[in-house]
Chain A
């Protein structure tokens, strides 16, 4: 079975520019997650979707970050405008069950963002 797909793999932008990341979860997975992983740290959850609805976005900096999961499949995470501290790897993950379960999460390869 195909894994979680993400693009692009790498992105370099200037501060104050905007950027968007795309994720295609494993087919049939109801729950989708976006994480931010800063070098040397564990991932930090930004937002969690169940189908096309937001379950948890409490750690998403909503003044600059936005995410959507139209039609409950693919998802896009956007940063506008970017700051230097946004430099990180952005990971997308999916799990088969509904939010509120202890299902295993499956991760994509990530997008490495560098903000100059």
Chain B
């Protein structure tokens, strides 16, 4: 079946460090891929998305590239800020039933 696996957290980094949060998926067909972010006390917000292979989604300095050959959609940012501290969820929309399938989330802590 369809599933999303992301790296366990928490991930703790210093301000201005490089960030990678790994995400891999299993799906039949060609899913759309998403990163959502959940700031403390807030709801889920769409961070970026990609709908086909080799697409790169980007927003707020974050990027992720849809890699079909490695079934991955890793989230990266060149220089993180304290305000990036949040929980990040990788997700896919299954092309078979159009349900949103979620990873377990990765908590990111940025220290000044």
A-side residues, CB < 8 A to B, are 4, 33, 40-43, 45, 56, 91, 93, 99-102, 104-110
Contact = CB atoms under 8 A, between A and B. Distances in A.
B21 interface: no
Interface residues of B, number: 23
**Which of A33, A42, A108 has most B Cβ within 10 Å?**
A42
Interface of B: 4, 32, 34, 36, 42-46, 49, 51, 89, 91, 93, 95, 97-100, 102-105
Contact of B98 (A99, A107, A108, A109): A99
Chain A binding surface, main DSSP class? loop
Chain B binding surface, main DSSP class? strand
A105 B100 contact: yes
A43 B102 contact: yes
23 contacts: A4-B43, A42-B4, A42-B102, A42-B105, A43-B100, A45-B99, A45-B100, A56-B97, A56-B99, A93-B44, A99-B98, A102-B51, A102-B93, A102-B95, A104-B46, A104-B49, A105-B46, A106-B46, A107-B36, A107-B43, A109-B42, A109-B43, A110-B43
Nearest to A112: B41
Given A41-B105, A42-B89, A42-B104, A101 B98 contact: yes
Given A40-B104, A41-B104, A56-B99, A107 B49 contact: no
